[in-house]
Amino acid sequence: MAHPSSSQIKPDHGGLNPKHVAIIMDGNGRWARQRGLPRTIGHREGVEAVRRTVRAAIEIGIPYLTIYSFSSENWSRPREEIDYLMGLMKRFIRRDLAELHQAEVGIRVIGERDGVDRELLALIDEAQELTRNNTRLMLVIAFNYGGRNEIVRAAGRLAEELAAGRLDPAKIENKDFERALDTYSIPDPDLLIRTGGEIRLSNFLLWQSAYAEFVFLDTFWPDFGREDLAAAITEYIGRERRYGGLASRSMA
């Protein structure tokens, strides 16, 4: 089967394109260091890369895009950098919300709310409520998020169901656990991209990525754009997803 080049990737009605792309946006600090700039400039340029990627996802026809914005481990960074990142999140919502809503982009933020300041939480709630019925693209922002923490919190919710007698421990299935996750009702990612040259998950969507295809790029996140997204999708299209089964075609 011939696969399209990255420049030919278009909205796909034949089912080849991934329905859900998740991205670990890595390399802002190293991008800045290479240029002799403060790390904050790398983060600022990283937001521009988010804007480019959202536009590209809409153009290509990706229904779900999840970005790893701020991990629960990032609180260990210097206070000045954390404050700057919180400010970037606020400015992104204030500046981009109207445009995203007009483009029919729905916003959903996953992760813990504990420790996040009230002003930012109010902006997050406003963004989610305003865009809740938009269906062109679901932009999922993993903010103050950690995969292990999400699984522990989900287990706690199931424990409450068990204690209340609403759930039979002998009949718990994957779907019961998935209902307790932050990503409930969001399909698992088909394609997970990590920029910045590192090859690890960094506690991102651990449950949900069980059968995702991974693409690791050396490109630092501030340089990421439509062609990088399209190239990763092209690579994804060229793979065969077997979900633990046998290949459907003979392997040479």
Q: Catalytic residue positions?
A: 26, 74
Asked if residue 211 is part of any domain, the answer here is yes
pLDDT at residue 11, as a whole number: 52
Asked if residue 252 is part of any domain, the answer here is no
pLDDT at residue 15, as a whole number: 72
Asked if residue 44 is part of any domain, the answer here is yes
- Round to whole Å and give the CA distance between 7 and 9: 6
Q: Which residues does residue 83 pair with via DSSP β-bridges, in sequence order? A: none
Residue 16 one-letter amino acid = L
Asked if residue 70 is part of any domain, the answer here is yes
- Round to whole Å and give the CA distance between 248 and 115: 48
Q: What is the pLDDT of residues 152-207, one digit of tens each?
A: 999 999 999 999 999 999 999 999 999 999 999 999 999 999 999 999 999 999 99
Q: Which helix (H) or strand (E) holds 40?
A: helix 39-60
Q: What is the pLDDT of residues 218-229, one digit of tens each?
A: 999 999 999 999
Q: Around Cβ 250, how many Cβ atoms within 10 Å?
A: 5
Residues in the chain: 252
Angle (CA) 33-37-42 rounded to 5° is: 75
**pTM of the model as a whole:** 0.91
Provide the token pair at 172: 């718990």
- Round to whole Å and give the CA distance between 20 and 2: 22
Asked if residue 183 is part of any domain, the answer here is no
pLDDT at residue 4, as a whole number: 47
CATH assignment of the domain containing 141: 3.40.1180.10
Q: In this predicted structure, which of 77-81, 125-129, 185-189 has the lowest mean pLDDT?
A: 77-81
* Counted domains in the chain: 1
Residue pair 131/98 in contact (Cβ under 8 Å)? The answer is no
| CA 81 to the chain's CA centroid | 21
